[in-house]
Amino acid sequence: MSGLPFLSIITWAPFVSAVVIMFCARHRPLLVRWTATIGTGISLLASLWVYWAYDRVSAGFQFQETFALVPSLGISYFLALDGMSALMVLLTSIIIFAGVFASWTVKQRSQEFYALLLILVTGVYGVFVSLDLFVLFLFYEIAVLPMYLLIGIWGSSGEVRPQGIFGRAMGWTGVGTKEYAAMKLTLYLLFGSAFILVGILALFVAAGSRTFSFLELQSIRFDPSLQSWVFLAFYVGFGILAAIWPLHTWSPDGHASAPTAVSMLHAGVLMKLGAYGVVRVGMGLLPEATVQWAWLVGLIGCINIVYGALSAMAQTDLKYVIAYSSVSHMGVVMLGAATLTEHGLNGSVFQMFAHGIMTGLFFALVGLVYEKAHSRAILKMGGFGTMMPGIATAFTIGGLSSLGLPATAGFVAEFLTFLGAWSSAHPWWLFPGVFGAFITSLYVLRVTRYIFWGPKSDDPHFAHLPDAQGTEWAALGILVFVLVLFGVAPGLAIGPIDTATVPLLERLAPLMSAARTR
Amino acid sequence: MMADVTALALVALLLPAVSFLILAVVVPLRRLGRPAAYVSLLCAGGALAAAALAWRGAAERSRLVWDWIPAEAGPLATIGVLVDHDSTSMLLLVALVAFLVQLYSIGYLSDELPYALGRYYTYQSLFAFSMMALVLAPNFVQLFIAWELVGLSSYLLIGFWYHKPAAARAAVKAFWTTKLGDVGLLIGIVMLWRHTGTFDLTELQAMVNSGTVAAAGLSVMTFCIYLGAVGKSAQFPLHIWLPDAMEGPTPVSALIHAATMVTAGVYLLHRTSWLFALTPEVLAIVVWIGALTALLAAVLACVQDDIKRVLAYSTVSQLGYMMAAIGAGFSAAGFFHLLTHGLFKALLFLGAGAVIHAVGSNDLSRMGGLVKRMPQTAVLFIIGSLALAGIPFFGGFLSKEDVLGTVWEGGHVVPFAILMLVAFLTAFYMFRVVFLAFFGAEALVAHAHAAAASSADHASAHGAGHGPGSHGSDGHAAGGHGIPHDPPAVMRLPLWILAVLSTMTGAYVTVSGPELFLGHLEHEPTSPAWLMPAAVAVAGAGIALAWLTYQRAVLDAERLASSMGVLRTAALAKFWMDDAFEAVYYRVFLGFSRMVGWLDRYIVDGVLNVVSEWTVVGGDKLRAMQTGRAQDYVVAVGAGLLAMLIWIGWGR
Amino acid sequence: MGLQAYLVLSAVVFCLGLFGVITRRNTIGILLGVELMLNAVNINLVAFGRFRGDLAGLVFPVFAIAITVAEAALGLAIVILLFRVRRTVMADHLDLLRG
């Protein structure tokens, strides 16, 4: 059993099903869906197995697969997995599996839609399991590019009125349309990946132009001044994908315009690629720079938390609320990572997972509400709880996780992050974090109350709204179950995470004590 | 035996959890309504039995914990049960009231649709589980988890009739206000963990006893923890949510917003009294805030026309009492009052529920003379009122004496005086309700009938009315009952049980002291001899004033009220506290967030769009160089060549 | 006469050709200018061949002249085609290369 190349199976199963869909399933929408289900199902099963079989005692990188691609440059197809990436792979599997169900009703060009979605997922898996920076970068680009088509073709346009002193420029760029959002997202992310490429190449050259292997680069002590700017390059490059302030504005537009499954995947998983990149590549390879720049990462994280939450409060479009809440929650992730403490980092990685599931659930629900009510305007809706109790319940559970209520995964993540923040070098980070959680409770319950509670809206459009049905239940059920399961039994995730974060911190510990004495 | 006790406590804790899981997951069962109620009731009954046995058996402190959040150096957090005298007493109270309320609700909510009833019992089970988890929490993490979960249950149950805008508002308001306190609690817990390295109550207590906890900064932590209690136990200035929480069904108010959940803050402070003892300055704040809350709420209770709101404010007021006792340094007295208060306040609420059920309205002016129509309810309600007023041999007598005694003992003269005044007001407003509702003219009964019919559709029962008196009914459908009458047996039984238990314990402890509930007390407050007669006299005076005003009409109620002048205006406006919070929320907070949202969209993103525009416009400008005429290119080539030649020549 | 005289002549002819290419509006004129510039180069080659006694310098112009003829034919053909399509041979109007 252990002889199988599990990581390759996980990574390429969606790709193979995408190929099958493109060549064998023309004009047979049901076959398209089932092929996608099977492909992602294989990945899900394999990643569950890998997660289960991961040896937590010996820890380190396991399930290694190596295959030299360009020996002269030291590029190889090198896959392996540690506790942190195992959890991320599991997250990806869950989200895409639910995402396939959530987009069951895509009618327009479903063949291409599913194929692109599955290729995108291959890229995501690839980033999480590659230990060769060059291959990692390739997968990263694969994960970013299909987004342009997915949003540009299957997206939906929002309503944004250009105003303010830059109103002319905004009107000119077509704010709010799906094409605008797709272009903005793609440009932003490619802008970021340019930084990443430069950083990777700098490390490659500094290491003697022999290898792109993460493990080999890790064993090299780079010059601190080189580390310093390479870390910033990685931080900006990956950080854009994690929506760090002020480079976050692609995310609300992108998420709001994207079709349901794409929003789920994007907010649920792709943003985690950014945070994962900062932690894995940035912090993993550049210990001195990590200690040097932790204050910046944490500060921006704090800004993200409060700023994102306040912005979410101000929105009237449901999808924008959720999108800004993602900005806020990614702040928690970055803050936890910046604490450079065991609990903070565990909280950070756990928050990646928790937020992934939670926001996936949110976008699935918003998609359902939109599909049935054809509206995203919060203030127009009302009293939907009577008509769609199931959706209302799931939304409430997602919201509660979002505001960090215990017994959902969100609480554990935030709690650990707060513990880390207070024991870090900058204890005051605790306060923006806690305050952000409080604001989250304000906007989440406000939205819940407006949409699902209260008397039924008089609008005739909302007279007959069906609850979720069939495959939609499958998507919601999976996500809610995971959200609660990991909230009740966080040890399931913290155990593996701990095996990845503790070695990372052990590398940092001498530097931090040196920095403290200085 | 000890293992048995923890096992029993665990059974009591897990039975509601099982019931919650069954009802939450098995949707068809939940939709059936009645059967769901029976499942929940069965589990609550089992929990009650287990809790009673655990209470009997609890002698020494014993605990049972499991790892919850792992970490490199041993588990960071654990979950489990911590059983001792206090926690089992509280557990018994919770289990008892929860069971009785669930029983009562079968009658009270008999008109609900099946799926709504199922939902109700799902929430009830969740609440019972969470509250017990709170009571039995062996450490701060579990305590906080359960703390938030009871907040969630409270939110869900206040918003049970979620289609009522007022209920939706009240639910959200309750959650937000308590959450504001919880921010403090969370910060306090985190700080304390950093300070001492543990969440565990037992370990912490051992550290405190051995004097290894550094005092520096500790008062900030205890104050933050106290903030959590302020939110949950509705202390000034976060008391504003509790009266609004009365939008929920009356049994919910009895269970959550009177007997159990709101006392969680008191329980927390009692649980950690050894920690607070290290920070006397925080305890002084606790006394003062407690006394102030008691007074404020008592004054507000005097002007309410809604029977449930009177009770709600009286709850706030009594919570102030408990807090004051804890702040005075004798937390056992506060806890004792908590236990007795739990019984008689549940009785009062359920009695009020019976009245509302019969009359179809919350409004006192629509009641009157009910003693003839519903004699049993009247008797029960009066028993509860006597207990609350602190009349000897009734439930609240000795515990109230203890509270007053400890505050005097602690040397807090002004708070003591305030609390004596509150004792007077308490007796007054309770008997105001008694006389208005159960005695006096019966002329309004026909009117009540009409009101009941009109409020049958509880969705439309009332709109956005928010001032006192405009609160309409509980939303409860009482249509069909012509003349008010005593409630059915399923509702009467819990009332009688509560009344008997409350009076029995009152009488028992009056005779033989509170050891039954509290175990052996290390230092019992020795209240001065004059205190007991004084307190009884004050309570008697309050009752007498109410009697003179509302029964005999010797004093004109209107003139009495208007003689209070500005105080009355302030009380009717709830001392403008709600307005202040609303203004902060809508004007300051929402305004600020709109500004941030606008900045993000139109400035941060605007700059981006400007950059984007400049890029494109710049490209457009540069494009003009490409005229498309071959000759222009030749000129450029020639000029370039020439420039190169000159440049090369220059170097020579 | 020395080499320099030939080079000066060549430069003058080249500049005349360049001037024609740049300034003539008629495409035929531009073609003629190009021919002049090519011939200036030929003069250069022949002069260097003559003064350095290298026969290769004489062979190159023969090639160049042959190719120039072909090129002129091709150029004229393009001009005629252009005229058929655009009804003009004025260089100002031919801005298909515009960005």
Contact list in B for residue C98 (CB cut-off 8 A) is: 626-628
Q: For residue B217, what pLDDT band results from cuts at 50, 70 and 90?
A: confident
pLDDT tens digits, one per residue of B384-435: 888 888 888 787 788 888 888 888 888 888 888 888 888 888 888 888 888 8
**Chains touching C (3+ CB pairs < 8 Å):** B
Q: Is B468 helix (H, G, I), strand (E, B) or coil?
A: coil
Closest Cα in chain B, distance from residue C96 (Å): 6
How many whole angstroms separate alpha carbon B148 and alpha carbon B153?
9
- Per-residue pLDDT at B467: 32
Q: What is the pLDDT of residue B459?
A: 35
| ipTM of this complex prediction, to 2 decimal places | 0.90
The whole-angstrom separation of Cα B402 and Cα B524 is 9
Q: What is the mean pLDDT of residues B196-214?
A: 86
User: What is the pLDDT of chain B when averaged over all its residues?
Assistant: 82
Chains C and A touching, counted as 3 or more CB pairs less than 8 Å apart: no
Determine the pLDDT at residue B453. 40
Are A434 and B187 inside 8 Å of each other by CB?
Answer: yes
More confident residue, B521 or A517: A517
- Per-residue pLDDT band at B475 (split at 50, 70, 90): very low
In contact, B98 and B124? CB cutoff 8 Å = yes
Q: Which residues of chain A are within 8 Å of residue B194 when distances are taken between CB atoms?
A: 419, 422-423
Chains B and C, touching by 3 or more CB pairs within 8 angstroms: yes
DSSP labels, C13-80: HHHHHHHHHHH--BHHHHHHHHHHHHHHHHHHHHHHHHHHT-THHHHHHHHHHHHHHHHHHHHHHHHH
pLDDT at B437: 82
Token look-up 């806890």 returns B335
Inspect the interface and report whether the beta carbons of A453 and B163 lie closer than 8 Å. Answer: yes
Nearest CB among B626, B629, B635 relative to C94 is that of: B629
Q: Which two tokens stand for residue B4?
A: 């048995």
Residue A409 C-alpha from the chain's centroid: 15
B15-28 CB burial, b ≥16 within 10 A, e <16: bbbbbbebbbeeee
Whether residue B457 is predicted with pLDDT greater than 50 in this model: the reply is: no
User: Which spans in B159-200 are helix H?
Assistant: 165-196
DSSP lists the bridge partners of residue A70 as: A75
pLDDT, tens digit (0-9, with 9 covering 90-100), for C54-69: 888 888 889 889 988 9
> Residue B451 above 80 pLDDT?
no
Asked whether the beta carbons of B193 and B199 are under 8 A apart, the reply is: yes
At A162 the pLDDT is 67
Secondary structure of residue B164 in the 3-state scheme: coil
Helices B413-438/B375-389 angle, 10° precision? 170
pLDDT band at B507 (very low <50, low <70, confident <90, very high): confident
Query: Picking from A481-495, B458-472, B547-561, B590-604, which range would have the lowest pLDDT averaged per residue?
Result: B458-472
Q: Which of B136-140, B311-315, B458-462, C54-58 has the lowest mean pLDDT?
A: B458-462
Domain range list for chain A = 1-157+204-220, 235-500
Element (H, E) at A196: helix A178-206
Question: Interior CA angle at A408 toward A405 and A412, to 5°?
Answer: 80
Q: What is the pLDDT of residue B534?
A: 83
- Judge B/A contact: 3 or more CB pairs < 8 A: yes
Residue B544: per-residue pLDDT:
84
Q: What 3-state class would DSSP assign to A67? A: strand
Contact yes or no for B612 and A167 at CB 8 A: no
Per-residue pLDDT of chain C (99 residues; tens, 9 = 90+): 788 899 999 999 999 998 888 888 888 888 889 889 999 999 999 998 888 888 888 888 898 899 889 988 998 998 888 888 888 878 777 777 665
Pairing mode, strands B62-69 and B77-83: antiparallel
Is there a contact between A235 and A285 (Cβ–Cβ < 8 Å)? no
CA distance A453 to B169: 9
Distance between CA atoms of A305 and A329, rounded to whole angstroms?
A: 6
Which residue positions in chain A have pLDDT lower than 50? 1
**Chain B residue numbers touching A406 (CB-CB < 8 A):** 144-146, 148-149
What would the pLDDT profile of B192-202 be if each residue is shown by its tens digit? 998 888 888 88
Q: Determine the distance in angstroms separating the CA of C29 from the nearest CA of chain B, rounded to an integer.
A: 12
Q: Does B620 touch chain C (CB under 8 A)?
A: no
Q: Please choose, from the candidates B344, B131, B366, B148, the residue with its C-alpha nearest in 3D space to the C-alpha of residue B258.
A: B344
Identify whether the C-beta of residue B404 lies closer than 8 Å to the C-beta of residue B414.
Answer: no
C97 and B638 within 8 Å at the Cβ level: the answer is: no
Spatial contact of B52 and B109, defined as CB atoms under 8 Å apart: no
Restricting to B residues 112-141, those with a Cβ less than 8 Å away from any Cβ of A are 141
Interatomic CA distance for residues B601 and A256, integer angstroms: 14
Task: Give percent of chain B above pLDDT 90.
Answer: 12
> Residue B456 pLDDT more than 50?
no
Q: Which of B76, B162, B606 sits opposite A453 (nearest CB)?
A: B162
Looking at residue A1, its pLDDT comes to 44
Report the residue of B625, B629, B635, B642 to disrupt the C interface, i.e. the one with the largest count of C CBs within 10 Å: B629
Over residues B21-70, the pLDDT tens digits come to 998 888 888 888 888 889 898 999 999 999 888 888 877 788 888 888 88
Exposure class string for C49-83: b at 16+ Cβ within 10 A, else e: beeeeeeebeebbeebeeebeeeeeebeeebeebe
Do B68 and A491 meet the contact criterion of CB atoms below 8 Å apart?
yes
Residue type, B348: L
* CA atoms of B454 and B360, how far apart (whole Å): 9
Residue entry with tokens 């605990």: B63
Query: What span, in angstroms and rounded, lies between the C-alpha atoms of B348 and B250?
Result: 11
3-state SS, residue B229: helix
Q: Tokens standing for B299? A: 């004054």
Structural domains present in chain C: 3-92 (1.10.287.3510)
B635–C contact, CB cutoff 8 A: yes
Q: What residues of A are in contact with residue B152 (Cβ under 8 Å)? A: 400, 405
Count of other CB atoms within 10 angstroms of residue B512: 10
